Every structure is written in structure tokens, then in C-alpha cells.
């Protein structure tokens, strides 16, 4: 390094030699610079005159004497030269710190003026790179820690332990000196409260373990980590505690996270797993409910836990299974819905889980308190089960009032309910399937039996025929044929039913609908069964309306329906028994036009508990093979399906075994059939008590006039302008007498009369013929047809009055 030896000049001046020594030994780098004469248009520069030994250490530059600043550091920051120049020019020293990129170091420089002419300066250099870097690092770490503190996922706090004061009787306590924002979120405590109060003030009742744990760390300097539940805060925490400073400072740093969710998730998975394991081996729906009730009851340590079901017709809640804590009574029973809080029922119906604080006795429901949702206190939780929108049952837990149920508990109970109901429903479906298999087996046995009887009979008859060639006097040829065709008929019906059941089951039956008159169909079908009834000494009474009941139906199938019902009537009555068949027009709100067919008998009746399943396939009243009345248990199933295919319905009523049965079949009629409407016809004098007179007359003026005369005579009168209308009015109004014109168009008076006579109520009804012709021509015929009298038109009042007083029965 080129330096000027200060020793050489030491003798010249004692100060100078001191300076020289200082110059040589000083720790900072030092140099003299002189401004270079450069043309005005060139940038200024300074030349190194002299440097001390430390110069190289600080600047990292060597052999600088005689070179200019720009030569030594080619990309020197222009501002440095400017500063040098300024110091030289103004004589004012200055100071700067700068990062010198080409040297990759921080330099601190003090620039002093030496002389202005020539312009000389001295510069003192210190390499401050290390210091600078340390400062930077410091800044970075401060920002980093602050950011970390503010944004970290974990809660962090610095706690000051406040030792116990035995004399004042104060236990150990602690207070937070600083907490991060996450601390507030995780604990639910506000920072301001936390910093201004001790923990005992802030959270009375906080478990002692927390105090002990922190105190231990502060006293021993040990680092501790643990996971603990705080019932007071109802959260799980994973905590890492370490001492800050010496034990004397009694400070701890606490780093924690809220693990409630993870913990709950673990517990939830464990419970669900346990539940699944418990349910898996069970096949009976009742066992599943019992097992789940016990498992959940014990797990939550509740008073009672169980299942309530709401079977059709949905008016009572049946607690089918429950588990209770020792000493608590079971509540397995049926309760009318009205004995429960209306609010509870309303909520369950709408599919909401209810957490509320009802009294424990459902028989004595509390006043309607508004139900609350999860996260609330309540004595019970009811989770509803909906099936196709209908509330069908609930899983419930009940406990002492005001137990705290958090959102997770409620959610878990809902899930358990969901899973258990699904398992129960699966088990029930299998139970039903088992039942169906059992019925099928029974059915197969029955089928073999049923087919063997007619077959045996056929075989016997055939054998007799073969042996006697029709000459046996006990079995004539026609008798044999009759017997055989009866057996074949019986077998055919069974085979038809069998085929139909299969087709119905798989939806293969298609109706071939066409317009038909149900009354005619009934009349014909009844005719075909009548001989069997008389053969078997059963009485058949038939009541059909006098008018048509038009509908769109499959004639063959409807005949099948009626035949099956009538055959059953025959089979399930005893000799001398009675079957009543009636058909009528029925009107109600929902279905303005429908026919009601009733088949009633005084036979063996049907037990109440069998009535619900009587229309199922393979269901029979008697299940022994020895069934003299026969049948495969398919008839009613076929009947029901066919009725339903016609958009109708069927129901059975029987007071019980031995008390007869009645089947009601409803079939929708053709909506546009006007004949079924009660015609809006004039009514005369409605307020008298002398009797009801119906005038059927196609000449309207004459009809109205006649009715008026009738009304004037003190009777209630109605008119119909056609035979068809007259029949409808007569059936529905049931007059005491009918004045019937013989010369009606379409249905004439004789036909109307004939139809009226067919009715049970029409058999002895006085019907008076009205005619404009000479009486002689009709007299014999009207008498034969059972007319009570006849009147010649135009009528005269005295004659009419006399006649009415004679024919109208006394009221
Ligand atoms: P099947 O008559 O072939 O047994 P059905 O389906 O027609 O089959 O009837 C099912 C069961 O319903 C019968 O076994 C019988 O017990 C009962 N049943 C049907 N009709 C009557 C009735 N009119 N009176 C009493 N029981 C009846």
C-alpha cells in the first residue's frame, strides 16, 4: 500500500508527529484528496494524495495514491463527488452514509475541508456494513414477529403469574400482559378485558389445572404442552407453555389453538363407529332401536333416550323403545298427539329438530315455550324423521332441565337419528320381505291343494263316465258334463286370477276402456250369478238405479270385479245367508260424480285385525289348509288393483267374525254425463206437509200447470220434462206419488213405470197415468202395469184433488 511515512516528519513538529502517529494507527480509514483540474465540460474528480493503513481495511481499495476517485471506483455514485466538491468549495465539513454498490459495502464518511486553493479535502471512512446489516436484520425480524403475532393461526399471550398470598387468603392467579388478535377469537374473551383483569376475576370457576400448569412453568422454567377441555369455555385447547425470562420475572408465554372441532370430530367418528358396530349384527328393527337408545343414552348420560313413532292415521305418538337411566321410569306407551306441546309437534312436522326445556312428563306438557335451536340449554332434543314429507317419528333424548347442548351435539344426534332410522327401515323392509316369502310358501301349499280338489273331482267324474258310458242312473251324462264344466270353471277362475296377479304386479294389465253403463253391466252380471245363489241356497237382493250410470271402463275387468265380490258373498255366507247388492249415484265434495257399489252379506265376517291386509296378495281369512270355502286369496287383490286402475277405491267393513261384511267400491263416472245431474226443474209449494207429488210430462206448459194445481191442493210438487229426468228426480227426491204422462218421447211412461217398479222404494209407489187418449185403449195395459189410476188430460181440479187424497198415503 502506498502511504506517506508520518515518522519522517515527526521532528518537524511535535503535533505533526502526533498526528502522523494517529494517522497511522487510527482505526478508521483516512485519506487526503485533491480536486483534479478538469475542463469545465468534464465531470469533476478527486485524486488520492495520501491514505492511512486502515484505509484499505475499510474501503477494500488498494494502490489508490495518484489515482482519482472515478478511476478507483469506476461506477462511483455521482452524489459522493458532488459532496466532495461542495465541501471543498464551501469549507463546510459533512457526513454521509451510503451503500457503495461496486464495493458491496456500507461506508460512513466524514468529509472535512483542507484548503480551497488547491481544492483539498480529507475523508474519514468507516466500514459500517456489519452494523447496517445487523440493523436491517433487526428491522426485518421485528416486522416479521409483529406480523406473525398479528396473523398467526394460534392464540398467543404473555402471562404474568400473580403468586398466592397466603395471608390475604388469595390463591395464585395470573393476568395477561399481551395477547394477539387470535387469542380473542379462540377464547371468546375481549382483549381489553383480558388485559385489565386477572383471570380469576375474568373467568370465575376456571378449572384450577390452568393456574397450576402456568404457575409450574413460571417457577421451574420447564416447557409444557398439553391438550385440555375447559367446561367453562366449553372448548378444547391444545396449549404450549414456556417460561419467559428468569423464574423471578414469573412470566410465561402461552401458545395455543382451539382443537374443539378436531376433538369433536374424533369423538363423533368414534361414536358413529361404535354405533355402526353395534347395529351391524342386528336384524330385528326393535333390537336396533333398543341398542341405539342404550348406547346413546349411556354416552350422553341422559335420563332417557328412545324412539317415538307416529303410525297412520298419525294421531298418536307411540314411544316404541326407550332406554332410561337407573331409577327413571320407561315411557313406552301410546300418547294422543294432543297431549304434547302443539309447538313441539308443529316443529317436528316441519322437519325441525327441537331443543327445548319442556317438563319431563309428556302427559303434562308445559305452557308453550318457544323452542330453541342448538347451542342452547334444554331438557330434551327431538330429531324428527320425515318420509315423503310426512313426519313419521322421532329420535329423542331427555335430560335434567337446562342441560347445555352445543351445535355439534345436536348435529351428531341428528346424524345418529338419520342413520338409525335408515337401519330400522331397512330391517323392516327385510322383515316384510320375510313375511312375503312366508306367505308365498303358504300360498304354494294352498295352490296345490286348491288345484287338486277340482282335478280329483274331474278325474272321478271322467272315470265314472268311462266305466258306465253315461248309463249310470246316479250320474246322467248331462249331470256329469255339468259337474265337469263347473270344476273346469272353478279351475279357470283360479288360473285367471293367478295370471292377473302376476300381470298386475308387474303393471302389465292395460284397461280397454270404452263408454258403458254401469247399471246395465251390473244387471247382466247379477243375472249370471243368480242361478249359483239359488243352487246354494243363498238369497241375493239387488237394488239398481232406474237410470243409467255412464262411465269409461273396461267391461270385462269391471265384470271381474263384481263377479269376485259376488262369488265371495256366496262363499263366505252360510246356507240360507243373504247378500245385498246395491248401486247408486254418490256425490261428495271431492268427487262430484261417482258410483257407489255395495256388496253386503250376513256371512262369516272378517276379524278386525285382518281387514287392513285383506286386499293384499295371498292373504286369506283362514290360514289352515282345511278350508271348505276354497280360494287362493287372490280375488280381492285382483279386485282392488282393477278398481284402482279405474281410479276408484275399495274398502271393507265388518263388525267382526260372524257378523257379516260389506265391501264398498267407488268408481268415477263420466264427468260430462248430464243425466246424472239433478235437473234444475221448478218446485212448487215447498212448505206443505200433505205429501210430495212428481209430475212427469214432456209438455212444459201442461206440466207446470198440473204442478201448480197440485200445489194449490196443498202438496209439494216437482216437475220433470222427460222420462230420464223423472227417474233421477224420483230416485233422489222419493215422491209419494207420481203423475206420469204415458206419451213421453224416448222412454215412454210404461218403460219409466217398469224401471220405477224395479226399485225397492218404487214397488208400491202410487203412479198415476196421464193420457190424452181415450181411457179404454189403455185401461187394461195400465192396470196390468200396476198404475194406481189414470187421469185424462186436461185435468180438472176436483178430480185431481179427489184422486190425490185417495192415492197419497197419509203423512
Ligand atoms: P279367496 O276368497 O280366494 O281366499 P280373496 O282375495 O277373494 O281370496 O279373499 C281373501 C280373504 O278375504 C278370504 O280368504 C276370506 O277370508 C276373506 N273374505 C273375502 N270376502 C269375504 C266376505 N264376503 N266375508 C268374509 N270374508 C271374506
Alpha-carbon distance 466 to 52, whole Å? 152
Q: How confident is the model at residue 367 (pLDDT cuts 50, 70, 90)?
A: very low
Model pLDDT for residues 457-496, shown as the tens digit of each residue:
888 888 888 888 767 777 778 888 888 888 888 788 788 8
The pLDDT value given to residue 688: 64
Q: Whose CA is nearest to atom 15 of ligand 1?
A: 621
- Closest-CA residue, ligand 1 atom 20, reads 568
For ligand 1, atom 19: residue with the closest CA? 568
CA 629 to ligand 1 center in whole angstroms: 9
Q: What integer pLDDT is reported at residue 625 of this predicted model? A: 42
Grid coordinates of 609: 285385525
Ligand 1 centre distance from Cα of residue 499 (Å): 18
Return the C-alpha cell found at 449: 291343494
The cell 378449572 sits on which residue? Answer: 207
DSSP letter for each residue of 356-404? E---S-TTSPPS-PPPB-SSEEEEEEEEEEEETTEEEEEEEEEEEEEEE
Q: Give, using CA atoms, the residue closest to atom 2 of ligand 1.
A: 631
Nearest Cα to Cα of residue 763 among 742, 744, 786: 786
Instruction: Answer yes or no: are the C-beta atoms of 577 and 618 closer than 8 Å.
Output: no
Question: How much distance in Å is there from the Cα of 543 to the middle of ligand 1?
Answer: 23
Neighbours of 307 (CB within 10 A): 26
Q: Separation of 771 CA from ligand 1 center, angstroms?
A: 52
**What pLDDT is recorded for position 678?**
57
Confidence band (pLDDT; 50, 70, 90) for 618?
low
Q: From the CA of 634, how far away is ligand 1's center (Å)?
A: 9
Of residues 589 and 765, more confidence is placed in: 765
State in Å: Cα 523 to ligand 1 middle: 23
Is the predicted pLDDT of residue 685 greater than 70, yes or no? no
Q: Report which protein residue has its CA nearest ligand 1's atom 8.
A: 633
Contacts of 420 (CB under 8 A, 6+ apart): 275, 279, 288, 289, 292, 307, 395
**Which of 445, 495, 501, 572 is the best mutation target for the ligand 1 pocket, counting ligand atoms within 8 Å of the beta carbon and taking the most?**
572
List the residue whose alpha carbon is closest to atom 11 of ligand 1.
620
Mean pLDDT computed over 425-434: 89
Centroid of ligand 1 to alpha carbon of 536 (angstroms): 18
Q: How confident is the model at residue 619 (pLDDT cuts 50, 70, 90)?
A: low
Q: What is the DSSP string of 125-160?
A: EEE-HHHHHHHHHHHHHHHHHHHHHHH-SSEEEEEE
Query: How many whole angstroms from 663 Cα to the centroid of ligand 1?
Result: 11
Query: Which residue in 490, 499, 489 sits closest to 641, CA to CA?
Result: 499
Pocket test for ligand 1, best of 453, 601, 606 (most atoms within 8 A of CB): 606
Q: Is 642 exposed, middle or buried (0-12, 13-18, 19+ CB in 10 A)?
A: buried
The rounded Cα 246 to chain-centroid distance in angstroms is 62
For ligand 1, mutation pick of 540, 563, 565, 568 (most atoms within 8 Å of CB): 568
Q: What is 306-330 written as a DSSP string? A: EEEE--TT--EEEEEEEEE-TTPPP
CA dihedral 581, 582, 588, 594 (to 10 degrees): 90
Helix or strand (DSSP H, E) at 24: helix 14-25
- Which among 580, 633, 652 is the best mutation to test ligand 1's pocket, defined by most ligand atoms within 8 Å of the CB? 633
**Residue 694: which of 674, 670, 710 has the closest Cα?**
710
Q: Is the pLDDT of residue 694 over 60?
A: yes
Q: How far is CA 479 from CA 183, 456, 470, 534, in A?
A: 104, 17, 10, 17
- What residue owns the CA closest to ligand 1's atom 22? 572
What is the pLDDT confidence band of residue 363, given thresholds at 50, 70 and 90?
very low
DSSP conformational letter for 63: S
Alpha carbon of 633 to ligand 1 centroid (Å) = 7
The whole-number average pLDDT for the span 734-759 is 91
How far is ligand 1, taken at its centre, from the CA of residue 567, in Å? 9
List, chain by chain if needed, residues with CB within 6 Å of any ligand 1 atom.
Answer: 568-569, 572, 601, 603-606, 614, 619-622, 631-637, 661
Mean per-residue pLDDT of the chain: 85
Contact 186, 213 (CB under 8 A): no
| Ligand 1 mutation pick, 635, 651, 655, max ligand atoms within 8 A of CB | 635
Range in 96-110, 288-302, 577-591, 667-681 the model is least confident about: 667-681
Above 60 in pLDDT, residue 734? yes
Test site for ligand 1: of 570, 621, 663, most ligand atoms within 8 A of the Cβ: 621
32 alpha carbon to ligand 1 midpoint, in Å? 131
Pick the residue whose CA is nearest to atom 17 on ligand 1: 621
How far is C-alpha 217 from the geometric centre of its chain's CA atoms?
53
pTM confidence score: 0.46
- ∠751-752-754 over CA atoms, to 5°? 60
| 636 CA from centroid of ligand 1 (Å) | 7
User: At residue 393, does pLDDT exceed 60?
Assistant: yes
Summarised one tens digit per residue, pLDDT across range 20-65 is 888 899 999 999 999 998 888 888 999 999 999 999 999 999 999 9
pLDDT in tens, 195-214: 999 999 998 888 888 899 89
Q: From the CA of 636, give the closest atom in ligand 1.
A: 6
Q: In this structure, what C-alpha cell is assigned to residue 174?
A: 395470573
Q: 40 C-alpha to center of ligand 1: Å? A: 131
Q: How confident is the model at residue 93 (pLDDT cuts 50, 70, 90)?
A: very high
Which atom belonging to ligand 1 lies closest to the Cα atom of 637?
A: 6
Give the pLDDT score at 2.
44
**What's the pLDDT score for residue 797?**
85
User: What is the pLDDT at residue 680?
Assistant: 62
Give the CB-side neighbour count of residue 339, counting CA atoms within 13 A.
Answer: 12
Amino acid at each position: 500500500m502506498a502511504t506517506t511515512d508520518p515518522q519522517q516528519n515527526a521532528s518537524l513538529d511535535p503535533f505533526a508527529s502526533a498526528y502522523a502517529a494517529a494517522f497511522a494507527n487510527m482505526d478508521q480509514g483516512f485519506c487526503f484528496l485533491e480536486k483534479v483540474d478538469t475542463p469545465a465540460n468534464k465531470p469533476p474528480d478527486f485524486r488520492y494524495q495520501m491514505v492511512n493503513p486502515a484505509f484499505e481495511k475499510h474501503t477494500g481499495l488498494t494502490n489508490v495514491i495518484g489515482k482519482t476517485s472515478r478511476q478507483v471506483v469506476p461506477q462511483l455514485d455521482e452524489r459522493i463527488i458532488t459532496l466532495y466538491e461542495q465541501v471543498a468549495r464551501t469549507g463546510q465539513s459533512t457526513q454521509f452514509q451510503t451503500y457503495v454498490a461496486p464495493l458491496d459495502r456500507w461506508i460512513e464518511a466524514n468529509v472535512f475541508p483542507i484548503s480551497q486553493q488547491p481544492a483539498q479535502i480529507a475523508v474519514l471512512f468507516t466500514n459500517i456494513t456489519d452494523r447496517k446489516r445487523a440493523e436491517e436484520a433487526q428491522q426485518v425480524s421485528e416486522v416479521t414477529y409483529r406480523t406473525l403475532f398479528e396473523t398467526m393461526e394460534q392464540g398467543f399471550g404473555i402471562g404474568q403469574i400473580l403468586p398466592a398470598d397466603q395471608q390475604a387468603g388469595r390463591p395464585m392467579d395470573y393476568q395477561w400482559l399481551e395477547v394477539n388478535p387470535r387469542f380473542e377469537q379462540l377464547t371468546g374473551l375481549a382483549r381489553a378485558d383480558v388485559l385489565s383483569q386477572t383471570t380469576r376475576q375474568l373467568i370465575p370457576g376456571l378449572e384450577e389445572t390452568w393456574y397450576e400448569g402456568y404457575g409450574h412453568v413460571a417457577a421451574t422454567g420447564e416447557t409444557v404442552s398439553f391438550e385440555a377441555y375447559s367446561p367453562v369455555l366449553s372448548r378444547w385447547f391444545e396449549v404450549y407453555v414456556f417460561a419467559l425470562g428468569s423464574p423471578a420475572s414469573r412470566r410465561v408465554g402461552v401458545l395455543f389453538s382451539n382443537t374443539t372441532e378436531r376433538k369433536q370430530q374424533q369423538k363423533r367418528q368414534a361414536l358413529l363407529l361404535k354405533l355402526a358396530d353395534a347395529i351391524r349384527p342386528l336384524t330385528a328393527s326393535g333390537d336396533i332401536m333398543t341398542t341405539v337408545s342404550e348406547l346413546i343414552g349411556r354416552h350422553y348420560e341422559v335420563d332417557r333416550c328412545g324412539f317415538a313413532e307416529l303410525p297412520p292415521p298419525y294421531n298418536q305418538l307411540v314411544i316404541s323403545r326407550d332406554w332410561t337411566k337407573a331409577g327413571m321410569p320407561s315411557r313406552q306407551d301410546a300418547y294422543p298427539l294432543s297431549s304434547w306441546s302443539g309447538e313441539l309437534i308443529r316443529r317436528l312436522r316441519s322437519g325441525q329438530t327441537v331443543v327445548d326445556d319442556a317438563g319431563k312428563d309428556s302427559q303434562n306438557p308445559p305452557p308453550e315455550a318457544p323452542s330453541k335451536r342448538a347451542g342452547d340449554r334444554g331438557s330434551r332434543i327431538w330429531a324428527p324423521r320425515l318420509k315423503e314429507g310426512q313426519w313419521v317419528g322421532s329420535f329423542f333424548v331427555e335430560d335434567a332441565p337446562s342441560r347445555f347442548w352445543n351445535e355439534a351435539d345436536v348435529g351428531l344426534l341428528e346424524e345418529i337419528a338419520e342413520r338409525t332410522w335408515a337401519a330400522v327401515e331397512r330391517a323392516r323392509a327385510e322383515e316384510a320381505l320375510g313375511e312375503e316369502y312366508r306367505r308365498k310358501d303358504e300360498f304354494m301349499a294352498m295352490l296345490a291343494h286348491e288345484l287338486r280338489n277340482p282335478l280329483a273331482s274331474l278325474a272321478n267324474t271322467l272315470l265314472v263316465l268311462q266305466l258306465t258310458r253315461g248309463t249310470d242312473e246316479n250320474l246322467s251324462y248331462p249331470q256329469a258334463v255339468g259337474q265337469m264344466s263347473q270344476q273346469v270353471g272353478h279351475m279357470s277362475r283360479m288360473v285367471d286370477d293367478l295370471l292377473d296377479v302376476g300381470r298386475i304386479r308387474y303393471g302389465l294389465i292395460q284397461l280397454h276402456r270404452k263408454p258403458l253403463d254401469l247399471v246395465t253391466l251390473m244387471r247382466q252380471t247379477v243375472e249370471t250369478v243368480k242361478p249359483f245363489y239359488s243352487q246354494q241356497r243363498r238369497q241375493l237382493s239387488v237394488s239398481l238405479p232406474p237410470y243409467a250410470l255412464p262411465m269409461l271402463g273396461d267391461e270385462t275387468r269391471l265384470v271381474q270385479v263384481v263377479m269376485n265380490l259376488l262369488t265371495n258373498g256366496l262363499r263366505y255366507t252360510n246356507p240360507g245367508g243373504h247378500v245385498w247388492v246395491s248401486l247408486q249415484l254418490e256425490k261428495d265434495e271431492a268427487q262430484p260424480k261417482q258410483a257407489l257399489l255395495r256388496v253386503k252379506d250376513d256371512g262369516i265376517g272378517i276379524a278386525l285385525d285382518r281387514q287392513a291386509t285383506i286386499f293384499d296378495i295371498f292373504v286369506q281369512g283362514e290360514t289352515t289348509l282345511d278350508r271348505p270355502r276354497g280360494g287362493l286369496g287372490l280375488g280381492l287383490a285382483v279386485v282392488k288393483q282393477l278398481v284402482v286402475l279405474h281410479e276408484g277405491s275399495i274398502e271393507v267393513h265388518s263388525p267382526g267374525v260372524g257378523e257379516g261384511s260389506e265391501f264398498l267400491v267407488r268408481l268415477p263416472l263420466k264427468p260430462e254425463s248430464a243425466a246424472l245431474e239433478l235437473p234444475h226443474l221448478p218446485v212448487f209449494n215447498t212448505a206443505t206437509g200433505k205429501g210430495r207429488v212428481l209430475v212427469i210430462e214432456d209438455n212444459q206448459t201442461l206440466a207446470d200447470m198440473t204442478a201448480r194445481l197440485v200445489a194449490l191442493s196443498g202438496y209439494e210438487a216437482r216437475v220433470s220434462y222427460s222420462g230420464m229426468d223423472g227417474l233421477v228426480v224420483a230416485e233422489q227426491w222419493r215422491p209419494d206419488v207420481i203423475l206420469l204422462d204415458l206419451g213421453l218421447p224416448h222412454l215412454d211412461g210404461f218403460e219409466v213405470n217398469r224401471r220405477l217398479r224395479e226399485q225397492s222404494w218404487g214397488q208400491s209407489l202410487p203412479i198415476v197415468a196421464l193420457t190424452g187418449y181415450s181411457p179404454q185403449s189403455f185401461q187394461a195395459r195400465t192396470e196390468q202395469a200396476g198404475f194406481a189410476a189414470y187421469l185424462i188430460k186436461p185435468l180438472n181440479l176436483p178430480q185431481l184433488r179427489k184422486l190425490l187424497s185417495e192415492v197419497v198415503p197419509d203423512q
